[in-house]
Structure 1
Amino acid sequence: MAAEPKPQKFIAGADDFGCPLKDALVAYLRSINIEVEDIGVGPYYSIGEQVGRKVSAAGTDTTFGLVSCGTGAGVQIFANKIPGIYAVRCLTVDDAKNARSINNANVLAVAGKSTSPETAIEILKTFISTPFKSPCPASDNKDWDPEIQKFLDNSLSEMAQIGNPNPNPEAQETCAICCLAKNREFVPVEIMPGGMMKIVRETPTSAIVKFKAGSVEPAHHHTFGHDLVVMKGSKRVWNLTKKEKYDLTVGDFLFTPAGDVHRVKYFEDTEFFIRWDGHWDIFLDEDLHSAKAVVGLYPLLLLMKLMAMPRE
């Protein structure tokens, strides 16, 4: 049986399929006086990202994450998009022990549809109580040999560099006066039908983007804020975080802060230049069908409002 867990803080969240299991594990953690910040229920991709971001922001090795969806895979994928997060789906106690010993995992993902609360609690106990580099099933439950110990020691710093836009500290002291990009091609924005993007600089990401008339960008947000200037066409941006609406046409500029959820409608073929404050990423907060349904309601709501106005 796994050793008694030590007090730590957990950030927890789940989608609808993983919520019952998450609630059982949160109750267990609180019963043994471990602090839990439960962010509740949401789409698996949003929950994975939010938990990952909070664990990463904590910046300590005593704050872990707990995420759950039907399979455990979805929340794991999106938690791992955040720098400093090592999320592992664990279906067995051995999985948990290996993940902590070998990978120094700091976010536990569990499968709400296939893992019982009793099994999940044992997995969680093991996840908490297993130190990095400790004996585990992968080492035949023996101490790692010196070569493997050395590899594991080096892995922490080497893993941290993966995804770092500027892994060479000396490069930060240099200044690129010019950055020439030629013969770049537009590529489809797969999750945004009707969109094409040509990246002209990788980090911070700068790009020229095109959308066809009638296209809709579902509500989404980015890790970094971005500036854009409309070069052709017209569009409407709903900043759902700030509850504001902006109609943009040629020459107009708009800055959207990091994390602000926004939805976009294109009235005609539109082209714009956009620059993020860091590396480009995107996190959807609704699907395309829902976005189109909401956008389609706006003209009807406006008409109803006009009809309700008093007439002279």
Structure 2
Amino acid sequence: MNIEKIFIASDHAGFELKDEIKKFLQTLNLTAIDLGTNSSEASVDYPDFANLMAENLKNQNEYGILICGTGIGISIAANRHKHIRCALCHDIYTASMAREHNDANIIAFGARTTKPEDAKEMIKKFFSTEFAGGRHLRRVDKLGCCRAQL
């Protein structure tokens, strides 16, 4: 995968997992641009961070990681943006299929539902899996979030 930038963001519930993932990415020689939040102390709204991710993720070779309590809300909020294909993943298989079949440009996790070690394994798989194209490109295009729009 050609990765130009990786952005990472979370709400307060995902703050600790976000920090752990940032350190893990460095061990893979990847650096994440942290879009916040910067603490678990104050309650914040996950749509604000999904929207910030969408504003920053502008090119085809840019990717993101989003985290909230369950991953559900933040992935729904992210997918409201036409150029976003955010996949809420729960295991290595879903992380692989998110890239290979759906050309996801953001992976999402639930901090309260995902063990840090599992998140790390999913991240490795997500960022090492290429989009298969072919019949899958036709399907992704039907989502109305064409890769060419980035």
TM-score band w.r.t. shorter chain: 0.7 to 0.9
Match of 1:115 in 2: 114
Match of 1:59 in 2: 59
What TM-score, normalized to structure 1?
0.42
How far residue 159 of structure 1 moved from its aligned partner, in angstroms, is: 2.7
Q: Hey, what's the Cα distance between the residues in 1 that align with 2:72 and 2:4?
A: 24
How far residue 8 of structure 1 moved from its aligned partner, in angstroms, is: 4.3
Q: Hey, what's the Cα distance between the residues in 2 that align with 1:67 and 1:132?
A: 20
**C-alpha spacing 1:11/1:161, structure 2 compared with 1 (3 Å):** closer
Q: Hey, what's the Cα distance between the residues in 1 that align with 2:120 and 2:135?
A: 31
Q: Note if contact 2:74-2:108 (Cα within 8 Å) is conserved in structure 1.
A: yes
Match of 2:48 in 1: 46
Superposition RMSD in Å = 2.0
Q: Hey, what's the Cα distance between the residues in 2 that align with 1:91 and 1:8?
A: 25
Which SS does the other structure have where 1:64 is aligned? strand
Which SS does the other structure have where 2:51 is aligned? helix
Match of 2:137 among 153, 160, 184: 153
**C-alpha spacing 1:151/1:74, structure 2 compared with 1 (3 Å):** same
Match of 1:93 in 2: 92
Query: Which stretches in structure 1 are left out of the alignment for 5+ residues?
Result: 134-148, 163-312
Amino acid at match of 1:108: I
Deviation per CA, 1:14-62: give whole Å up to 9, x if none.
011111111111111123221311011142111111112211xx222x2
Q: Percent sequence identity over matched residues?
A: 28
How far residue 108 of structure 1 moved from its aligned partner, in angstroms, is: 0.6
How far residue 124 of structure 1 moved from its aligned partner, in angstroms, is: 0.5
How far residue 63 of structure 1 moved from its aligned partner, in angstroms, is: 0.9
Q: Hey, what's the Cα distance between the residues in 1 that align with 2:32 and 2:145?
A: 29
**C-alpha spacing 1:153/1:18, structure 2 compared with 1 (3 Å):** same
Q: Hey, what's the Cα distance between the residues in 1 that align with 2:18 and 2:78?
A: 16
How far residue 6 of structure 1 moved from its aligned partner, in angstroms, is: 6.7
**C-alpha spacing 1:101/1:116, structure 2 compared with 1 (3 Å):** same
Q: Note if contact 1:50-1:79 (Cα within 8 Å) is conserved in structure 2.
A: no
Aligned residues: 140
Higher RCO (C-alpha 8 Å, min separation 6) = 2
Query: Which stretches in structure 2 are left out of the alignment for 5+ residues?
Result: 38-43
How far residue 161 of structure 1 moved from its aligned partner, in angstroms, is: 5.8
Q: Hey, what's the Cα distance between the residues in 2 that align with 1:91 and 1:122?
A: 11
What TM-score, normalized to structure 2?
0.84
- Higher strand proportion, which one? 1
Amino acid at match of 2:127: I
